[in-house]
Amino acid sequence: MKEVLTNPSAGYYMSKDVFGEKGDFITSPEISQMFGELIAIWLINEWTKCGKPTPFQIVELGPGRGTLMSDVLRVFSKFKMAESDFSVSLVEVSPYLSQIQEKCLCKTQNEKISELPIDSLHYKESKSLYGSPVRWYNHISDLPRTFTLFLAHEFFDALPIHKLVKVDQGWREVLIDLNREDSTLRYVLSRERTPASLYCRENEVRKDLEISPQSSVMIQVMASRIHQDGGIGLVIDYGHEGDKTDTLRGFKNHKLHDPLVKPGTADLTADVDFSALKWAATHPRSVEDWKANLTFGTVDQKDFLTRMGINMRLEKLLASCRNEKLANDLKSAHRMLTDPMEMGSKFKFLALYPVVMEKILLKYPPPGFS
Stretch of 59-67, 279-287, 324-332, 361-369 contacting ligand SAM, by CB under 6 A: 59-67
297: left (phi over 0), alpha (psi -120 to 50) or beta: left
Q: How far is the CB of 17 from ligand SAM (least distance, A)?
A: 10
Looking at beta carbons, which residue is closest to ligand SAM?
62
> Among residues 228, 217, 62, which one has the least CA distance to residue 145?
228
Between CA 319 and CA 189 the distance in angstroms is: 58
Per rule CB under 6 A, count of chain residues that contact ligand SAM: 20
Between CA 28 and CA 32 the distance in angstroms is: 7
The answer to the question of residue 150 lying near ligand SAM (CB under 6 A) is no
Q: How far is the CB of 80 from ligand SAM (least distance, A)?
A: 26
Q: Given the DSSP bridges, would you call strands 147-153 and 231-240 parallel, antiparallel or unpaired?
A: parallel
Q: What is the DSSP string of 123-150?
A: EEEEE-TTS-EEEEESSGGGS-SSEEEE
Q: How far is the CB of 267 from ligand SAM (least distance, A)?
A: 7
Q: How far is the CB of 65 from ligand SAM (least distance, A)?
A: 6
- C-alpha angle 10/14/19, rounded to 5°? 120
The answer to the question of residue 46 lying near ligand SAM (CB under 6 A) is no
Among the listed residues 63, 231, 263, 297, the single contact to ligand SAM using CB under 6 A: 63
Among the listed residues 154, 210, 237, 303, the single contact to ligand SAM using CB under 6 A: 154
> Among residues 179, 73, 199, 172, which one has the least CA distance to residue 126?
73
How buried is residue 22: exposed, middle or buried, by Cβ count under 10 Å (0-12/13-18/19+)?
Answer: exposed
Render the burial of 315-328: b for 16+ CB within 10 Å, e for the rest. eebeeeeeeeeeee
Among the listed residues 32, 87, 89, 94, the single contact to ligand SAM using CB under 6 A: 94
Among the listed residues 47, 155, 238, 347, the single contact to ligand SAM using CB under 6 A: 155
The answer to the question of residue 100 lying near ligand SAM (CB under 6 A) is no
Among the listed residues 40, 41, 72, 97, the single contact to ligand SAM using CB under 6 A: 97
The answer to the question of residue 93 lying near ligand SAM (CB under 6 A) is yes
The answer to the question of residue 4 lying near ligand SAM (CB under 6 A) is no
- Do 337 and 27 meet the contact criterion of CB atoms below 8 Å apart? no
- Which one, 136 or 171, has the nearer CB to ligand SAM? 136
Contacts of residue 293, Cβ cutoff 8 Å, sequence gap at least 6: 223, 226, 227, 281, 282, 352, 353, 354, 355
Stretch of 87-95, 181-189, 242-250, 361-369 contacting ligand SAM, by CB under 6 A: 87-95
Q: How far is the CB of 51 from ligand SAM (least distance, A)?
A: 29
- Which one, 62 or 354, has the nearer CB to ligand SAM? 62
Stretch of 49-57, 62-70, 181-189, 298-306 contacting ligand SAM, by CB under 6 A: 62-70
The answer to the question of residue 29 lying near ligand SAM (CB under 6 A) is yes
Among the listed residues 36, 64, 297, 354, the single contact to ligand SAM using CB under 6 A: 64
Q: Which phi and psi (to 5°) does residue 344 adopt?
A: -60, -35
Q: How far is the CB of 138 from ligand SAM (least distance, A)?
A: 7
Residues 331 to 350 in contact with ligand SAM, rule: CB under 6 A:
none
The answer to the question of residue 58 lying near ligand SAM (CB under 6 A) is no
Contacts of residue 350, Cβ cutoff 8 Å, sequence gap at least 6: 233, 234, 235, 236, 274, 277, 278, 295, 296, 297, 298
- Which one, 103 or 193, has the nearer CB to ligand SAM? 103
Q: How far is the CB of 68 from ligand SAM (least distance, A)?
A: 6
Query: Could you give the C-alpha distances from 305 to 1, 179, 186, 331, 347, in angstroms and in order?
Result: 31, 47, 41, 14, 11
Q: Which DSSP letter does residue 267 get?
A: E
> Among residues 350, 161, 156, which one has the least CA distance to residue 272?
156
**Sites of contact with ligand SAM (CB under 6 A):** 5-6, 13, 19, 27, 29-30, 62-64, 68, 91-94, 97, 153-155, 158
